[in-house]
Amino acid sequence: MATTGEEPHQFRRPCLLSSDTERAQIAYENLFGQHDWAPLEEADSAVVLGGDGFMLQTLHDMLDSGRVIPAFGMNLGTVGFLMNRYTPRMDVLGRLNRAKHKAIAPLRIEAVTQSGERHSLCAINELSILRETRQTAKIEVTVGSRVRIRELVCDGVLVATPAGSTAYNLSANGPILPLDSEVLALTPISPFRPRRWRGAILPDRMKIILKVLEPVKRPVAAVADQKELRDIAEVTLEIARDTELELLFDPGQSLEERIVSEQFVTA
């Protein structure tokens, strides 16, 4: 995971992106006439209106296009963990250029289906392996060069980045990871055997291989953030250190602080 940079930004040509929800569309109309927004292909930054899901979609679109620019989200969704507070009127350039930035590296995933098809995916939050039928999944877990669990019997298993550790991973009783910890969470979902295994925290330099046992009888799907592949035979995961995404946050509202604060929520 990359470290936080403190150098000042000099953004001049942001673009304005919005989800298709009613709240986000109203905000888009409010902000559209307040600035001379650049087309996406010419922009040096993006103001993203919506929720966490739309931010993830936007970041994935950047990865797919090969053109990654800093993203400043404003929350018009539910949780808004990756977003800033929405203000109807704003000094766009002033707020962007005062923002703190955080570079995050996604997971690079190579998935092989039962038919032998190979797929390359990225996950910013997590990769989940989930059973497709009433049958529990059986998964062999390899970390580094060693098989660590020969047969994990469960509803599924997920690998979460620090940025995604407060999402599905936390709901599955996985650990919250500091953003600069350079570790990944390997978290089982409703494990049946080994009964006492509750997951692992792993150095993010280690490659992880999840091999599906009895894949025809016990089919599983792989879900990388918002993209799903079914009838998986094996997935290989590692941090994509050569691919970084940049999120922008208002001063005092950094992603690191949100991850720390989440560990003290008592209600």
Decide if pLDDT at 137 tops 80.
yes
Q: Is 163 annotated as a binding residue?
A: yes
pTM of the model: 0.85
Distance, C-alpha 198 to centroid of its chain: 22
At residue 262 the predicted structure's pLDDT band, cuts being 50, 70 and 90, is: confident
Q: How long, in residues, is the chain?
A: 267
DSSP 48-88: EEE-HHHHHHHHHHHHHHT----EEEEE-SS--TT-BPP-S
CA separation for the pair 206, 34 (Å, rounded) = 47
DSSP 94-159: HHHHH-EEEEE-PEEEEEEETT--EEEEEESSEEEEEESSSSPEEEEEEETTEEEEEEEEESEEEE
Beta-bridged to residue 71, according to DSSP, are: 46, 247
pLDDT at site 50: 96
Q: Among 118-127, 206-215, 240-249, whose mean pLDDT is lowest? A: 240-249
Which of these is catalytic: 52, 91, 180, 225? 52
Q: Is 266 annotated as a binding residue?
A: no
**Would you kindly state where each structural domain of the chain is located, as residue ranges?**
14-105+244-262, 107-239
CA separation for the pair 55, 83 (Å, rounded) = 8
At residue 208 the predicted structure's pLDDT band, cuts being 50, 70 and 90, is: very high
Would you call 52 a catalytic residue per the annotation? Answer: yes
Decide if pLDDT at 74 tops 90.
yes
CA separation for the pair 68, 128 (Å, rounded) = 25
Q: Beta-carbon neighbour count of residue 41 at 10 Å?
A: 8
Q: Is 170 annotated as a binding residue?
A: yes
Q: Is 125 annotated as a binding residue?
A: yes
At residue 8 the predicted structure's pLDDT band, cuts being 50, 70 and 90, is: low
Instruction: Tell me phi and psi for residue 59, to 5 degrees.
Output: -65, -40
Q: What is the CATH number of domain 14-105+244-262?
A: 3.40.50.10330
Q: What is the CATH number of domain 107-239?
A: 2.60.200.30
Q: Is 126 annotated as a binding residue?
A: yes
